[in-house]
Homo-oligomer: A and B are copies of this chain.
Amino acid sequence: MRNEKAARVFLAMCEPARLQILQKLAKSKGCVQEIGKSVGRNQPNVSQHLRVLKDAGLVKTKREGKRVCYSLADERVKMLIGIAEAIG
């Protein structure tokens, strides 16, 4: 169902922690550690949130040696955040 998929996108973005991560990635991509420092959360926590974001198709990954670089999967993610901020 189309509804379900859209809901999953919003579900991924409804958590302040994940929204914070997305906003960080909107500025610059980075690995799990860096993201963790940026948003003030521990590594497993960030990793779990990133998984949710990835499953929802909001971020993509790229291995770089030992690290995994995360970045926004779609420019439209920025649009969603921008509109939500404008409404709220």
Contact = CB atoms under 8 A, between A and B. Distances in A.
Interface of A: 2-11, 13-16, 19-20, 23, 56-58, 73-74, 76-77, 79-81, 83-88
Contacts of A14: 7, 10-11, 13-14
21 contacts: A2-B88, A3-B19, A3-B23, A5-B88, A6-B19, A6-B84, A6-B88, A7-B14, A7-B15, A9-B87, A10-B10, A10-B14, A10-B19, A56-B88, A57-B88, A73-B87, A76-B83, A80-B83, A80-B84, A80-B87, A83-B83
A18 to B, nearest CB: 9
A57 B87 contact: yes
